[in-house]
Amino acid sequence: MINVLKLKGAIVEKGTTQQAVADAIGIDRSTFYRKMKNGGDFSIEEAKKIAKEVPLTNFEAVEIFFGEEVAKTLLFSTEKNQLAHS
């Protein structure tokens, strides 16, 4: 299940609409709204398209689609790797 509130917030913050995102990813508006209402039952391809359309940073996309703990773990791993290669 995705973080629907964060996704809705990102959509508004980036100046777009759920309708525009639905159109851009190629699904009907009612299908998009239903998926949002049901906890964000999006396919991986739809999630990629949403991340590109909104647009979301890699961290935002991971945080929204995989959860905050996964995002923090990935961020920590990335920073650790960057320090090791400095």
Average pLDDT along the chain: 88
Give the CATH number for residue 49: 1.10.260.40
The verdict on whether omega for the bond into residue 55 sits within 30 degrees of 0, i.e. cis, is yes
Name the amino acid, one letter, at 25. I
Number of domains within the chain: 1
pLDDT digits (tens, 9 = 90+) for 14-53: 999 999 999 999 999 999 999 999 887 899 999 999 999 9
Residue keyed to tokens 């398209």: 49
**By residue range, what is the domain housing residue 35?**
4-84
User: pTM to 2 decimals?
Assistant: 0.78
